Chain A
Amino acid sequence: GAVVSQHPSRVICKSGTSVKIECRSLDFQATTMFWYRQFPKKSLMLMATSNEGSKATYEQGVEKDKFLINHASLTLSTLTVTSAHPEDSSFYICSAGGTGGISNQPQHFGDGTRLSIL
């Protein structure tokens, strides 16, 4: 099946640090990738849709200047949490679907990044 690689798996850093998370599709091209956030015992909350070669589409309430998304190639999207604070501590998960156009292909998830801001 499709493989999505996410790195790093865990980050612990001081308040004010910016943290970059990478999401790679290893065996398929992904024109669209998705970034989710999950709090303990809660479901996934979609933060933004990352579009290759264009600006990301952010969900309502998600600060685009806080969570910078770059999708520079068909296999790589990055999420940068800028000037992170303790309230940004969460489990961040990326996913990738099929290639461009209307698709019924399921999304496959990376292993997630657990971010802890001290």
Chain B
Amino acid sequence: QKEVEQNSGPLSVPEGAIASLNCTYSDRVSQSFFWYRQYSGKSPELIMSIYSNGDKEDGRFTAQLNKASQYVSLLIRDSQPSDSATYLCAVNELTGGGNKLTFGTGTQLKVEL
């Protein structure tokens, strides 16, 4: 059973701080990793994708991947109240026609004024 683990939170950070979201996965052969943001009552929205070890930055977001430790994280700099949402970590399982994703349970982030 492939698993993706996340701390459910809530993670509370003050506005302007760095929010750090963590995820571990069990399948060593996974190659693609994704972070999705989901607002309450809405569908997930892709934030970041990362495929190789190291850091990948996009605006205020930085994804970090360590395949040896089977660990992927998402940093959000200068957190804003609008970042308050549930962040889902997803790990791929390659199928013949595309990606089959395994999702973590999500971490709820609250950015407080």
Chain A residues near B (Cβ < 8 Å)? 1, 6, 31-32, 34, 42-44, 46, 49, 51, 93, 95, 97-112, 114
Closest to B48 in A: A106
Given A43-B104, A44-B88 in contact, is the A111-B43 Cβ separation under 8 Å?
Answer: yes
Q: Please tell me if the beta carbons of B98 and A103 are within 8 angstroms of each other in the complex.
A: yes
> Which residues in A have their C-beta under 8 angstroms from that of B101?
34, 46, 95, 107
Interface residue count for B (Cβ, 8 Å)? 27
A31, A42, A93, A109: the one within 8 Å of B97 (CB): A31
B44, B90, B94: the one within 8 Å of A102 (CB): B94
Q: Please tell me if the beta carbons of A98 and B46 are within 8 angstroms of each other in the complex.
A: no
Q: Lowest 9 CB-CB distances: which A-B pairs, in order? A: A97-B98, A32-B97, A32-B98, A112-B43, A109-B43, A43-B105, A104-B32, A44-B103, A93-B43
**Interface Cβ pair total, 8 Å cutoff:** 72
Closest to B4 in A: A43
B31, B46, B99, B105: the one within 8 Å of A42 (CB): B105
Q: Please tell me if the beta carbons of A104 and B88 are within 8 angstroms of each other in the complex.
A: no
Enumerate 30 A-B pairs (CB-CB under 8 Å) in ascending A order: A6-B43, A31-B97, A31-B98, A32-B95, A32-B98, A34-B101, A43-B88, A43-B104, A44-B88, A44-B103, A46-B101, A98-B98, A98-B99, A99-B98, A100-B97, A102-B94, A102-B96, A104-B31, A105-B98, A106-B32, A106-B46, A106-B49, A107-B46, A107-B101, A108-B46, A109-B36, A109-B43, A109-B45, A110-B43, A111-B42
Chain B residues near A (Cβ < 8 Å)? 31-32, 34, 36, 41-46, 49, 51, 88, 90, 92, 94-101, 103-106
> Which residues in A have their C-beta under 8 angstroms from that of B97?
31-32, 49, 51, 97, 100-101
> Which residues in A have their C-beta under 8 angstroms from that of B34?
106-107
- Give the Cβ gap from B30 to chain A, nearest Cβ, in Å: 11
Known: A34-B100, A99-B98, A101-B97. 12 other contacts (CB 8 A): A32-B95, A49-B100, A51-B97, A97-B97, A100-B98, A104-B51, A104-B99, A105-B99, A106-B34, A107-B90, A108-B46, A111-B43
